[in-house]
Each structure stands twice: as C-alpha cells, then as structure tokens.
Amino acid sequence: MSKIRSKNTKPEMLMRKTLWQMGYRYRIHYNKLPGKPDIVLVKYKTAIFVHGCFWHRHQNCNEASRPKTNSEYWETKISKNMERDKKIQSELQQLGWNVLLVWECELTSDLNRNKDFIRNKLPTIKDID
C-alpha cells in the first residue's frame, strides 16, 4: 500500500489539466479547508474532490470491487473513508462552500469529453472557455 499515491493521481491530473485549459485557476491540496480538497476554485468557492472508485466505494461501479482476501480489514477501512467523506462535505457546506465529487471512472484521457463533463457538473459557474 505504500506505493499507492494520495496526491497527484492520474484522475486528479486529468481534472487539473482540463480545468486549466478551460481557463479556471485553482489551488491544489488546499490545507485551509477541512479535508484538504484536491482542487479548490477559490473565486467560485468550490472544493473538488477527485475520488478513487475503490477507495471511496463508488456505487454501481466495476472499479469499486471488494477484495476477496482480508475482506474485514478492507470493509472497515473503506467504510471509514466513506464516513470521513460525508463529514468533510458537511463541514464544507456549513462553511458556505460548494462541494463537487468527481469519480475516477468519470474522467477520460479525452480532454474535450472532460470539458463537457465539467460543464455539466459545474452549472453555477460561468464557463470561461
């Protein structure tokens, strides 16, 4: 597990690259907010979390499979991740922040498709592109 990165993952980098091309400027791993969001659009008061389907148990996703070995450990670990996610989202919303969850399976290497996806996810934000 020590080889698994928590920052600068491939889905996170795809999201950042797409946002940058769309003209959004952001902060990464913003430690001034609860949960240290992956990407923060300060101007729009929006915190973006790019979640791994396995680690945060994306419902009805093939990538969110349950390991067959040591299943009790994994169930506990992933359940704690999910509880923490809900708590952090609630804290951010109480502070007046918009919270956007992006799952790794929702992003592709096609940046144009990602742009369309982001436009649909961020309808309240005026598109710069």
Q: Report the predicted TM-score, pTM, of the whole model to 2 decimal places.
A: 0.86
pLDDT tier at 34 (50, 70, 90 boundaries)? very high
Rounded CA-CA distance 1/27 in Å is 27
Rounded CA-CA distance 50/71 in Å is 24
pLDDT exceeding 70 applies to what percent of the chain?
A: 88
What single-letter DSSP state applies at residue 52? -
Rounded CA-CA distance 76/118 in Å is 32
pLDDT tier at 46 (50, 70, 90 boundaries)? very high
Go through the domains of the chain in sequence order and give each one's CATH number.
10-32+55-121 (3.40.960.10)
Rounded CA-CA distance 83/74 in Å is 14
What residues form DSSP beta bridges with 99? 47
Q: Is the pLDDT of residue 2 over 60?
A: no
Span 64-121, pLDDT tens digits: 677 788 889 988 988 898 999 999 999 999 999 999 999 888 888 888 898 998 888 8
Span 23-32, pLDDT tens digits: 999 999 999 9
